Structures are given as C-alpha cells and as structure tokens.
C-alpha cells in the first residue's frame, strides 16, 4: 500500500514539473514569436517540408507582388513547356516596359534560356515570350496561371500577367507565394535557376551569359533562391529560400523597403526560435526520465 502511495506521489510530482516546464516554454515561446516584428507590410517564413508557418506578419493579406509573379511563370514553363523549343521574340515582348534582358524582336531563344532570363534578370521580355509561346497570348497564359494556382491550393491570388506589373486584378499573399515557391523547389531545373549566381552561355548553348540580380544569394551563405520584385504599387519584394541542415526555409517579404536586411533578420529569428524550442524539448524529455 505504501509503495502504491509512494508511486502515486512520484507521478504527481513529475506531472507538476512537466506542467511547469511546459507552461514556461509556451509563455517564453509565445513572447519570442509575438514580440518579433519586421519592417515589411507582409512577411512569412515557412518550412518547405512540413508546411509549418515559422513566422507570420500579415502573411495572408492580399497585396500586389510585382515580379515575384515570375515564380509561377517559371514553374509552368518548366513543367508544361518544351524547354528545347526555340521561341521567336515578338515586338510586344521586346518593347515591354520595366526590367528586361534585352532580347530583340525576331531573335530565337530556347524556352530554357527564357526561364533563366526571366529569373536571373527579372526579364519582362522573357515573361511575355514565355506567355506567348505557351498560352498564345498574355491573356491566354494568365488563364493557365490561375488554373494552375487553384490546382495546387493557391486560392487567394489572381494573376493577370506573367511579369507582375501593377494591375488591380493582379495580387497574391506572402503565404501563397511561399506555397508556390515550395512547389517550384521540387524541380531540379527550378532549383538550379533560382539558386545559381551566374550561368555561362556555353553550358546550355545560350545566346548570352547571365548574372543573377538576387543579392540574397551572396548575403546568406545557405541561400538557394529565389526571386526579387519591385513596382510602385507593390514596393520592394523578395521571396527567398535558405537551406538549413538539409531543409529549405521559405521566407517572403512584401512591400519591404530594406528587403535584404529584413530577410536576414527573419532567418536569424527562425533559427533562434527553433533552437529555443529544441532546448525546451530536451528539458521536457529529461524531466520525464526522472525516477
């Protein structure tokens, strides 16, 4: 009888210890997450493998997203297009406003090279060339974009162009862009395109060399993508992927004046939060082993 009472008391004491540790963990963890803010209208950090949201600040708000749109354009080109097919650059493509690779009307460029130009140089001319090749027109390609987005569960976005120039009917959210990027990172070519700092024309018999304008690849050693964006309506945007111990962390900042610094700040915060949670998990396991 005494042994039973002794065991019951031990169980109660262990339960009290576990409850206290858990309570402190939740409170401290909540403080870390809730007190952290960045200088961006919208931001999110997502574990690509699990889909877990690691940090979020207005992450579900619908806003313009500028050239981060090209993530979807690239995915569709890689998944649905004949990458070796040559595309003739139209006058509409070569004459588009905004950032361009510099393709000339009448040039023949493979679809694969257009994807590099799209993502490395944020080429609006490459975007239109891809749209015309796969959708027959910008409008036709926009229909493909919206159909594809809904098919992978992106429900709060609407696409009107392959490049993302400002339009009232063109919008997304940080969360949707993170999900979209997670999809893109499943493809080896997408990973190569968004994660490379430069590509020599000789590698794939391209017409020119390409240098990536995405500075995050230099600022965070573990960064492996993804895409910049800027328009007057969207502000400065950045979708990044950082590989930490074999896992991709997708980070999105929208309407973020200092996007490079804020992305680094979010990455550091995520690492510190994960480390904190792992330490408290070890303490919980240790407490359970008390005899």
- Read off the tokens for 56: 């979020």
Q: Closest Cα to residue 64, out of 168, 197, 178?
A: 168
67 a catalytic residue: yes
Longest Cα separation, the chain: 93
Pick the catalytic residue: 94, 99, 122, 173?
A: 122
- Give the up-direction half-sphere exposure of residue 199: CA atoms within 13 A in the CB hemisphere: 25
State the binding site for substrate.
227
CB atoms within 10 A of CB 197: 11
Determine whether 122 is an active site residue: yes
The DSSP bridge pattern shows strands 210-211 and 223-231 to be unpaired
Nearest one of 103, 75, 228, 95 to 162, comparing CA atoms: 75
Binding site membership: which residues?
227
Q: Which of 70, 100, 121, 236 is labelled catalytic?
A: 70
Residue 119 parent element (H or E): helix 111-120
Just list the catalytic residues.
67, 70, 122
């Amino acid at each position: 009888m005494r042994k039973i009472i002794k065991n019951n008391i031990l169980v109660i004491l262990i339960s009290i210890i576990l409850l206290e540790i858990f309570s402190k963990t939740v409170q401290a963890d909540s403080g870390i997450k809730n007190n952290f803010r960045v200088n961006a209208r919208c931001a999110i950090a997502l574990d690509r493998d699990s889909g877990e949201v690691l940090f979020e600040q207005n992450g579900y708000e619908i806003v313009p997203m500028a050239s981060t749109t090209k993530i979807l354009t690239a995915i569709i080109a890689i998944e649905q297009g004949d990458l070796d097919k040559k595309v003739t650059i139209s006058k509409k493509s070569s004459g588009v406003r905004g950032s361009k690779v510099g393709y000339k009307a009448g040039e023949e460029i493979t679809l694969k090279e257009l994807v590099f130009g799209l993502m490395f140089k944020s080429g609006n001319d490459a975007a239109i060339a891809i749209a015309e090749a796969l959708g027959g027109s910008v409008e036709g390609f926009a229909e493909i974009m919206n159909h594809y987005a809904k098919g992978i569960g992106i429900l709060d976005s609407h696409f009107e162009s392959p490049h993302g120039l400002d339009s009232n009917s063109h919008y997304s959210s940080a969360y949707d862009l993170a999900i979209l990027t997670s999809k893109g990172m499943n493809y080896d070519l997408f990973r190569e395109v968004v994660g490379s700092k430069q590509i020599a024309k000789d590698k794939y018999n391209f017409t020119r060399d390409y240098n990536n304008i995405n500075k995050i690849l230099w600022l965070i050693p573990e960064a492996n993508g993804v895409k910049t964006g800027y328009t007057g309506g969207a502000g400065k945007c950045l979708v990044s992927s950082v590989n930490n111990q074999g896992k991709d962390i997708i980070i999105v900042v929208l309407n973020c004046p200092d996007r490079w610094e804020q992305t680094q700040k979010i990455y550091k915060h995520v690492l510190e939060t994960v480390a904190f949670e792992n330490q408290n998990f070890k303490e919980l396991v240790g407490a359970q082993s008390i005899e």
